[in-house]
């Protein structure tokens, strides 16, 4: 997906550009070295040493700190934050007055204003108005639009539409196992269906009132609650994890007779490139009671 | 873009005149930067450098002896040991604890560098070679040939259309005919960053070995020199990203294990010497290729094969044998020097695998291997190298969004040499600032990141460009496109040789494009600068 979408309306003196921003990426240098007794001598090594994108004192490791604005953006997923640069420039030699800038998100089900209407008394020749808008994506689908509207000189107006898709990030599957003791075992399968590996920073089951939850995802013999998934929280592309929980009725809350079949919900937080954050909560997990 | 557009000419000068006073946001930066010309070269990790000097300071990643002379001031205070591993039981080659004389007898040196263990099949063939008549079936020969490609850069031509011939003339790069047609000439072209002409020269020189265009698949003779030419060619092809050409030419080399690539095969030429004709770097570069070629099925196979080979050699050395497992007496010096060489080659291969893994987004593998390098080092690292490894770890973690990066950055900080006996405030050094800034970005705090980068820049470190580029990036994400552009333009003007690299130009082009796509004076700037300083960015041929 191209990261820049330029919409130009030629007849207007001010032009609006919109660019969805993904987190910057770290550029990893290309490492070419050789023995100093090989034909090229020390040339390649010197070039690498001078390469600003290389990692000083360990140049043969491509893990520099040189940031790049990504040329190709990762998808924007449900639960992540839509971040967009709105750039409004006066490209004429005349000052433009009374500018009003407005932005809203248009999804299949709702209109969400995310900017303004914001008024600017004037825009000098070749000057610009720069705004970064943010929006937490709470709805997935393929018909999301950012609509920016500009009014100026109290009579002219135009709008720019930036469309984007919001695919689902994770595939969640749940299974309940009812026991005779009125305990419920819950198995959750989570699969990373994004195009990039992620770090699962948080994956918890928040139980409803009246239930106690015991996470069964730690090694029994370890003293420090070691996760059965090891010490890396990385979930690769297409990788699946299985979590297991035991839910029991909260005895102290017995006075409350409203026993619900809603056991709780999952709260999941992940991060990907350079800390790109995403967070989702599952819909209520409802136990099916076999009658 | 190809049109002659004379009305655009003044625009070039615009870019190269003094920065406008209006950019006072960066004034303090600018004034500070004037002292930059005195910057020293960074101490580099020459881990593959050949053993030439007699002291143990040849590998910079290894803890140097006391009389360490050429490091920058920040490195002067010696850290007594590698601190954070908690792995004191690991026997880190004792030899580094003593003033140890390395062996540099040419014959030994050659044996070490070119040692390689042939596969069983090849070994059998080689052993029989002395008895049987000296021919191989065609399918056991290595029969390379260069692709018929003439490499050109279009920079000069582009420049002529903008500037006219007279003004563009100084930017015309050295022609292949202007250098001697041999390895010396080749070296000159490479030093001149004229990779295209250097490649054309390798085509010519390899033609003399019967390995020129169209000669792939025909028998030819290999020597150490021809293999060096091939290595150089491949290194250059990698540098200019000519993946299609390189993957075609790589086919003939297979896994570099055919009998005709061993010295044993050429008794008349190499007498009773053992070893391969293939430079180690060539082996590695071929193994790194699959990750750049889309059709590859397993990008790691060849890399791990090399790692296994290196480990075998190390274990042979440990068991009192020669590198390739022959039972020949080696002096202690000789053996230890060889161990040093092969340990450092082992590290280099692991680095390559890590790079490949990061490239493939196999972060688990990258992190695991790097963790190994950090926690169980085979060599005694310099403090700076240890810190670099930890920083690398943190950065790789950040690439997959793992904020545990913070822990690694902290460990790196703790290794920082302390100024002993003084009460000087323990200020963050360049590395700490960069790491802190990266972490701030992961937490969406671009303002704080900017401050850290700015402080790093003000330290006058060797790597100002990283700080400047990253400051510009932060400004952009803060909605200050114009300031970001001003900053980068200013940086290019001040440090053209450092600033000119593909990544920085890619950033500035992205900003330009966003700012005003109708104008092409920006692209003009790009060409102008590239040709003016003509290196770093080659006109990619694909």
Task: Give the whole-angstrom CA distance, residue B351 versus residue A202.
Answer: 31
Residues 6+ apart with CB under 8 A from B106: none
CA distances from B493 to A67, B18, B490 (A): 20, 9, 5
Q: Are residues A151 and A188 in the same domain?
A: no
**Domain membership flag for residue B80:** no
A235 contacts on B by Cβ (under 8 Å): none
**Domain membership flag for residue A64:** no
CA-nearest residue to B292 within chain A is: A30
Q: How far is CA B12 from the centre of its chain?
A: 33
CB contact under 8 A, A232 and B367: yes
pLDDT at A146: 92
B388 contacts on A by Cβ (under 8 Å): 55-58, 61
B348 contacts on A by Cβ (under 8 Å): 33, 60
**Taking Cα atoms as reference points, which of B475, B461, B542 lies closest to residue B508?**
B475
**Domain membership flag for residue A8:** no
Q: Are residues A214 and A264 in the same domain?
A: yes
Task: Give the whole-angstrom CA distance, residue A57 versus residue A25.
Answer: 22
Nearest CA to CA, how far is A234 from chain B (Å)? 7
**Domain membership flag for residue B94:** yes
CB contact under 8 A, A31 and B514: no
Residues 6+ apart with CB under 8 A from A246: A183, A184, A185, A186, A213, A214, A216
B504 contacts on A by Cβ (under 8 Å): 52, 66
Residue in the structure block whose two tokens are 């265009």: B213
CB contact under 8 A, A67 and B469: yes
- Residue B524: band (very low, low, confident or very high) from pLDDT cuts 50, 70, 90: low
Hey, what are B439's tokens? Answer: 């972490």
**Domain membership flag for residue A265:** yes
Q: Give the domain extent around A186.
A: 170-286
Task: Give the whole-angstrom CA distance, residue B233 versus residue B247.
Answer: 12
Q: Half-sphere exposure of residue B232, counting CA atoms within 13 Å on the CB side? A: 35
**Taking Cα atoms as reference points, which of B536, B192, B191, B428 lies closest to residue A54?**
B536
pLDDT at A8: 52
The number of distinct structural domains making up chain A is 2
**In chain B, positions 14-33, which contact chain A (CB-CB < 8 Å)?**
none
- Give the predicted TM-score (pTM) of the model: 0.83
- Among residues B261, B291, B322, the one where a domain terminates is B261
**Domain membership flag for residue A61:** no
Please give the angle made by the CA atoms of B381, B383 and B389, to the nearest 5 degrees.
Answer: 70
**Top-confidence range, A244-248, B501-505, B508-512:** A244-248
Is B497's pLDDT higher than 90? no
- B251 has a chain A CB within 8 A of its CB: no
**Domain membership flag for residue B396:** no
CB contact under 8 A, A33 and B385: no
**Domain membership flag for residue B72:** no
Q: Are A36 and B49 in contact (CB under 8 A)?
A: yes
Is B99's pLDDT higher than 80? no
Across the interface, of A50, A67, A237, the residue whose CB is closest to B473 is A67
- B352 has a chain A CB within 8 A of its CB: yes
**Domain membership flag for residue A271:** yes
Which string of b and e fits A266-277 if b means at least 16 CB within 10 Å?
bebbbbbbbbbb
Number of cross-chain residue pairs from A and B with Cβ atoms under 8 Å apart: 255
Q: Give the domain extent around B485.
A: 461-541
Give CA torsion, residues B369, B372, B377, B382, to 10 deg.
Answer: 70
- Among residues A166, A193, A218, the one where a domain terminates is A166
For chain B, percent of residues with pLDDT exceeding 70 = 69
Q: Which of A7, A12, A23, A60 to mutate to test the interface with B (most CBs of B within 10 A)?
A: A60
pLDDT at B523: 56
Across the interface, of B190, B355, B518, the residue whose CB is closest to A31 is B355
Task: Give the whole-angstrom CA distance, residue A182 versus residue B197.
Answer: 79
Q: Which of B14, B400, B442 to mutate to test the interface with A (most CBs of A within 10 A)?
A: B400
**Domain membership flag for residue A42:** no
What element of type H or E holds A198? strand A198-207
Backbone φ/ψ region at A230: left (φ over 0), alpha (ψ -120 to 50), beta: left
CB contact under 8 A, B438 and A65: yes
Hey, what are A132's tokens? Answer: 């970064």
Residues 6+ apart with CB under 8 A from A4: A17, A19, B510, B513, B514
- B441 has a chain A CB within 8 A of its CB: yes
CA distances from B312 to B368, B378, B532 (A): 22, 15, 49
Going across the sheet that includes A111-123, the strands are: A111-123, A96-106, A141-152, A156-166
Task: Give the whole-angstrom CA distance, residue A145 versus residue A7.
Answer: 14
Q: Are residues A159 and A176 in the same domain?
A: no
- Residue A178: band (very low, low, confident or very high) from pLDDT cuts 50, 70, 90: confident
For A133, other C-beta atoms within 10 Å of its C-beta total: 20
CB contact under 8 A, B504 and A236: no
pLDDT at A7: 55
**Domain membership flag for residue B11:** no
Question: By mean pLDDT, which of A24-38, B336-350, B470-484, B497-511 is the weakest?
Answer: B497-511
- B321 has a chain A CB within 8 A of its CB: no
CB contact under 8 A, B442 and A275: yes
Nearest CA to CA, how far is B128 from chain A (Å)? 31
Q: Are A262 and A285 in contact (CB under 8 A)?
A: yes
Instruction: For residue range B183-229, list pLDDT tens digits in order.
Output: 999 999 998 888 888 999 999 999 999 999 999 999 888 999 999 99
Q: Which of A275, A277, A278, A279 to mutate to test the interface with B (most CBs of B within 10 A)?
A: A275
Task: Give the whole-angstrom CA distance, residue B226 versus residue B212.
Answer: 11
**Domain membership flag for residue A257:** yes
DSSP A122-184: EE-TT-EEEEEEEEE----EEEEEEEEEEEETTTEEEEEEEEEEE---EEEEEEEEE-TTS-E
Q: Are residues A279 and A242 in the same domain?
A: yes
Is B250's pLDDT higher than 90? yes
Q: Are B455 and A53 in contact (CB under 8 A)?
A: no
A47 contacts on B by Cβ (under 8 Å): 193
Q: Which of B45, B72, B437, B481 to mutate to test the interface with A (most CBs of A within 10 A)?
A: B45
**Domain membership flag for residue B338:** no
Instruction: For residue range B155-177, list pLDDT tens digits in order.
Output: 666 667 666 677 666 666 667 78
Task: Give the whole-angstrom CA distance, residue A14 versus residue A128.
Answer: 9
A61 contacts on B by Cβ (under 8 Å): 351, 354-355, 370, 388-389, 392
Say if residue A18 is exposed, middle or buried (CB neighbours under 10 Å; 0-12, 13-18, 19+): buried
What element of type H or E holds B188? helix B183-191
Residue in the structure block whose two tokens are 């292949």: B176
Phi, psi of A99, deg, nearest 5? -95, 135
CA-nearest residue to A15 within chain B is: B516
CB contact under 8 A, B235 and A40: yes
- Among residues A166, A195, A228, the one where a domain terminates is A166
CB contact under 8 A, B514 and A87: yes
- Among residues A115, A133, A166, the one where a domain terminates is A166
Q: Is A269 helix (H, G, I), strand (E, B) or coil?
A: strand
B292 contacts on A by Cβ (under 8 Å): none
Instruction: For residue range A226-258, list pLDDT tens digits in order.
Output: 888 888 889 999 999 999 999 888 776 555 545
Instruction: For residue range A130-170, list pLDDT tens digits in order.
Output: 999 999 998 888 788 999 999 988 888 899 999 888 999 99
**Domain membership flag for residue A206:** yes
Q: Are A61 and A33 in contact (CB under 8 A)?
A: no
DSSP B248-274: HHHGGGTTS-SGGGBGGG-HHHHTT--
Which string of b and e fits B197-219 if b means at least 16 CB within 10 Å?
bbbbbbbebbeebebbeebbeee
Going across the sheet that includes A128-136, the strands are: A4-6, A14-20, A81-90, A128-136
CA-nearest residue to B506 within chain A is: A68
Q: Are A73 and A1 in contact (CB under 8 A)?
A: yes
CB contact under 8 A, B46 and A45: yes
Q: Is B101 helix (H, G, I), strand (E, B) or coil?
A: coil
Q: Are residues A109 and A207 in the same domain?
A: no
> What CATH number should be reported for the domain holding residue A270?
2.60.40.1230
Q: Are B290 and B301 in contact (CB under 8 A)?
A: yes
CB contact under 8 A, A275 and B45: no
* B290 DSSP assignment: G
Nearest CA to CA, how far is B102 from chain A (Å)? 17
**Domain membership flag for residue B49:** no
B235 contacts on A by Cβ (under 8 Å): 32, 34, 40, 44
Question: By mean pLDDT, which of A144-153, B97-106, B441-450 is the weakest?
Answer: B97-106
> What CATH number should be reported for the domain holding residue B491?
1.25.40
Across the interface, of B50, B443, B503, the residue whose CB is closest to A68 is B503
- Among residues B206, B234, B261, the one where a domain terminates is B261
- Among residues B237, B261, B285, the one where a domain terminates is B261
The number of distinct structural domains making up chain B is 2
**Domain membership flag for residue B118:** yes
Residue in the structure block whose two tokens are 């790097």: B370
- B496 has a chain A CB within 8 A of its CB: no
CA-nearest residue to B498 within chain A is: A52
Nearest CA to CA, how far is A82 from chain B (Å)? 13
Q: Is B405 helix (H, G, I), strand (E, B) or coil?
A: helix
> Helix, strand, coil proportions of chain A in percent (round to 5)?
5, 50, 45
DSSP A19-51: EE----EEEPPPP----TTSTTTTHHHHHHHH-
CB contact under 8 A, A198 and B281: no
Query: For the residues B15-38, what does the mean pLDDT come to?
Result: 34
Residues 6+ apart with CB under 8 A from B260: B136, B140, B141, B142, B222
> What CATH number should be reported for the domain holding residue A118?
2.60.40.10
**Taking Cα atoms as reference points, which of A164, A172, A169, A223 lies closest to residue A20?**
A164
């Amino acid at each position: 997906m191209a990261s820049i979408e330029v919409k130009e309306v030629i007849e207007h003196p001010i032009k609006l550009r919109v660019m969805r921003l993904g987190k910057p990426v770290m550029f990893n240098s290309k490492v070419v070295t050789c023995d100093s007794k090989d034909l090229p001598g020390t040339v390649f090594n010197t070039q690498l040493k001078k390469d600003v994108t290389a990692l000083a004192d360990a140049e043969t490791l491509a893990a520099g700190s040189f940031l790049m604005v990504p040329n190709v953006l990762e998808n924007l997923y449900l639960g992540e934050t839509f971040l967009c640069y709105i750039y409004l420039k006066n490209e004429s030699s005349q000052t433009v007055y009374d500018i009003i800038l407005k932005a809203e998100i248009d999804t299949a089900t709702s209109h969400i204003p995310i900017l303004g209407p914001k008024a600017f008394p004037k825009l000098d020749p070749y000057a610009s108005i720069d705004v970064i808008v943010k929006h937490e994506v709470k709805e997935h689908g393929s018909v999301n639009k950012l609509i920016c509207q500009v009014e100026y000189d109290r009579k002219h107006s135009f709008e720019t539409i930036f469309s984007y898709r919001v695919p689902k990030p994770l595939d969640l599957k749940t299974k309940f196992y009812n026991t005779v003791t009125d305990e419920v075992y819950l198995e959750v399968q989570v699969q990373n269906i994004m195009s990039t590996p992620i770090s699962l920073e948080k994956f918890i089951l928040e139980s409803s009132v009246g239930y106690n939850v015991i996470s069964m995802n730690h090694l029994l013999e370890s003293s420090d609650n070691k996760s059965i998934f090891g010490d890396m929280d990385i979930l690769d592309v297409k990788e699946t994890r299985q979590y297991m929980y035991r839910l029991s009725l909260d005895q102290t809350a017995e006075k409350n007779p409203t026993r619900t079949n809603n056991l709780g919900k999952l709260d999941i937080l992940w991060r990907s490139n350079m800390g790109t954050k995403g967070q989702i909560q599952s819909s209520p997990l409802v136990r099916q009671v076999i009658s | 873009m190809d049109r002659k557009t004379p009305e655009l000419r003044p625009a070039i000068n615009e870019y190269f005149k003094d920065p406008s006073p209006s950019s006072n946001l960066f004034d303090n930066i600018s004034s500070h930067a004037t002292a930059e010309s005195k910057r020293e070269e960074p101490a580099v990790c020459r881990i593959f450098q050949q053993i030439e000097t007699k002291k143990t300071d040849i590998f910079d990643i290894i803890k140097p002896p006391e009389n360490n002379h050429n490091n920058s001031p920040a490195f002067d205070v010696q850290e007594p040991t590698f601190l954070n591993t908690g792995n004191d039981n690991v026997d880190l080659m004792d030899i580094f604890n003593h003033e140890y004389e390395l062996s540099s007898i040419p014959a030994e040196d050659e044996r070490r560098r070119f040692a390689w263990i042939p596969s069983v099949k090849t070994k059998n063939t080689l052993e029989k070679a002395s008895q049987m008549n000296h021919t191989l079936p065609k399918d056991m020969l290595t029969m390379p040939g260069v692709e018929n490609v003439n490499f050109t850069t279009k920079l000069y031509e582009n420049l002529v259309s903008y500037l006219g011939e007279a003004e563009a003339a100084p930017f015309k790069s050295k022609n292949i005919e202007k250098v001697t047609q041999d390895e010396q000439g080749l070296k000159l072209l490479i030093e001149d960053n004229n990779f295209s002409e250097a490649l054309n020269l390798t085509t010519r020189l390899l033609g003399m070995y019967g390995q020129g265009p169209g000669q792939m698949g025909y028998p030819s003779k290999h020597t150490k020199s021809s293999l060096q030419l091939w290595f150089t060619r491949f290194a250059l092809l990698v540098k200019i990203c000519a993946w299609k050409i390189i993957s075609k030419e790589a086919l003939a080399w297979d896994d570099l294990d055919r009998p005709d690539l061993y010295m044993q095969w050429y008794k008349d030429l190499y007498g009773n010497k053992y070893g391969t004709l293939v430079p180690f770097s060539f082996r590695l570069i071929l193994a790194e290729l699959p990750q750049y070629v889309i059709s590859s099925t397993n990008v790691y196979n060849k890399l791990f094969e090399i790692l296994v080979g290196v480990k075998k050699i190390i274990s042979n050395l440990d068991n009192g044998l020669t590198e390739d497992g022959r039972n020949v007496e080696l002096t202690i010096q000789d053996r230890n020097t060889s161990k040093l060489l092969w340990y450092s080659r082992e590290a280099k291969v692991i680095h390559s695998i890590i790079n490949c893994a990061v490239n493939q987004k196999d972060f688990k593998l990258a992190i695991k291997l790097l963790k190994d390098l950090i926690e169980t080092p085979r060599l005694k690292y310099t403090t700076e190298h240890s810190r670099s490894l930890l920083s690398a770890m943190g950065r790789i973690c950040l690439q997959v969004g793992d904020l545990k990066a913070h822990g690694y950055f902290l460990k790196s900080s703790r290794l920082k040499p302390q100024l002993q006996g003084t009460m000087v405030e323990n200020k963050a050094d360049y590395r700490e600032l960069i790491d802190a800034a990266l972490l701030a970005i992961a937490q969406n705090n671009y303002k704080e990141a900017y401050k850290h980068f700015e402080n790093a820049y003000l330290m006058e470190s060797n790597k100002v460009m990283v700080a400047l580029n990253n400051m510009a990036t932060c400004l952009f994400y803060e909605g200050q496109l114009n300031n970001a552009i001003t900053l980068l333009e200013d940086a290019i003007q001040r440090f053209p040789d450092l600033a000119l690299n593909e990544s920085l130009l890619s950033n500035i082009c992205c900003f330009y494009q966003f700012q005003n796509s109708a104008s092409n004076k920006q692209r003009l700037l790009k060409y102008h600068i590239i040709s003016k300083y003509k290196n770093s960015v080659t006109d990619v041929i694909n």
